[in-house]
Amino acid sequence: MELNWTAVPDFTHHAHTASLSAVAVNNRYVVTGSRDETIQIYDMKKKIEYGALLQHNGTVTCLEFYGNAHLLSGAEDGLIYIWNTKKWECLKSIKAHKGHVTSLSIHPSGKLALSVGTDKTLRTWNLVEGRSAFIKNLKQNAHIIKWSPSGEKYVVVISNKMDIYKLDTASIIGTISTEKRISSVRFITDSVLAIAGDDEVVRLYNCESQKCLCEFKAHENRIKDIYSFEREGQQVMVTASSDGYIKMWSLNLNKIQDAPSLLCEVNTKARLTCLAVWLDTASETKENSDKAETSSCANEDEQPLITRKRKVCWTDTSDKSTKVEKHVMPKKQKLGGAQQKKKKNLQSRT
């Protein structure tokens, strides 16, 4: 028998001076990006504000961890930064796009990343050497890029159309179109894809056939983000909407045509923008706990990350004199001080 879950507020913080635009998680940290041009770091083990990364100029549009050692960030300044998350220092700054960086995704191997921007290009990055590997021109600006869990395919979203690409041929193997603009895409498995758009419905598609397996009304307003994770053999999908609700759904992959059952919901009374789920893996192992904490940004997208055994050397091979220094805001320093520090940093760089 399936038990309903209960959502309990655990850690709340007024993170930014403007609305949040991105959120990502790994085993320890939650990072948030905002229109205030900063990335805030939270240590979820200690439930404290850890500091801030101040390099970007312009809205931080995308954040993604790779394991427990690296973070990639992209922004409207057209830059992608590669961060070491052990010391929170910048390893590499990449001028990725002539316009804004709108989305990025790291290959499961950690050796490649994809990014899309407002310059109508899809770019492949060699993360081992920190350089561009391939540039593909698109007909329109894409706003979502995402690898499949196996890394054998990836999806590119332009407005209400999603193209599915195969890695080995870099060719489109299928296209899924929806009536409304697609706002979020999530691989539930390598072959099942959840899509939400500017309406109240979540749709599950088969990647190979591009057929809709199931659709259900999840919210009363447009859905902003989808997240999914597996816990004790149970597949859970989390949705966040402009209606202020975060909902957790139980998916039965053996009966994928059936609408998911609602596990719990919480009304945040906020206009949600992005969503991520931080799982307390330590306490889950110790206590077999039912605890799953939802980080909502009023909250982004990502699967719970596992430390990978493969070691990839993401190092800065550029001239050390031009290497970007790290700027982590002390725990107790106010955000206003961070903005002043940023201005000084900009002056010193010019």
Radius of gyration of the chain (CA): 19
- The answer as to whether 243 is a domain residue is no
**Quick check: helix, strand or coil at residue 316?**
coil
Q: Can you give the pTM of this predicted structure?
A: 0.81
Domain that holds residue 38: 20-220
- The answer as to whether 198 is a domain residue is yes
- The answer as to whether 159 is a domain residue is yes
Residue type, 186: R
- The answer as to whether 167 is a domain residue is yes
- The answer as to whether 206 is a domain residue is yes
Q: For residues 223 and 182, give the distance between their C-alpha atoms in angstroms, rounded to a whole number.
A: 9
Q: For residues 157 and 165, give the distance between their C-alpha atoms in angstroms, rounded to a whole number.
A: 11
**Quick check: helix, strand or coil at residue 321?**
helix
- The answer as to whether 145 is a domain residue is yes
Q: For residues 18 and 182, give the distance between their C-alpha atoms in angstroms, rounded to a whole number.
A: 24
- The answer as to whether 120 is a domain residue is yes
Phi, psi torsion values for 282, nearest 5 degrees: -65, -50
Beta carbons of 266 and 4 less than 8 angstroms apart: no
* Encoded tokens for 13: 């913080």
Our CA angle for 274, 275, 280, nearest 5°, is: 155
Residue type, 124: T
- The answer as to whether 245 is a domain residue is no
CATH number at residue 51: 2.130.10.10
* Encoded tokens for 80: 């992608």
Q: How many domains does the chain have?
A: 1
Beta carbons of 73 and 81 less than 8 angstroms apart: yes
* Encoded tokens for 181: 């603009």
**Tens-of-pLDDT digits for all 350 residues of the chain?**
456 788 888 888 888 999 999 999 999 999 999 999 999 999 999 999 999 999 999 999 999 999 999 999 999 999 999 999 999 999 999 999 999 999 999 999 999 999 999 999 999 999 999 899 999 999 999 999 999 999 999 999 999 999 999 999 889 999 999 999 999 999 999 999 999 988 999 999 999 999 999 999 999 999 999 999 998 888 999 999 999 999 999 999 899 889 899 999 999 999 999 999 998 875 543 433 334 444 555 433 333 332 233 333 344 433 333 233 334 544 433 333 333 334 334 344 43
Residue carrying structure tokens 């989808």: 226
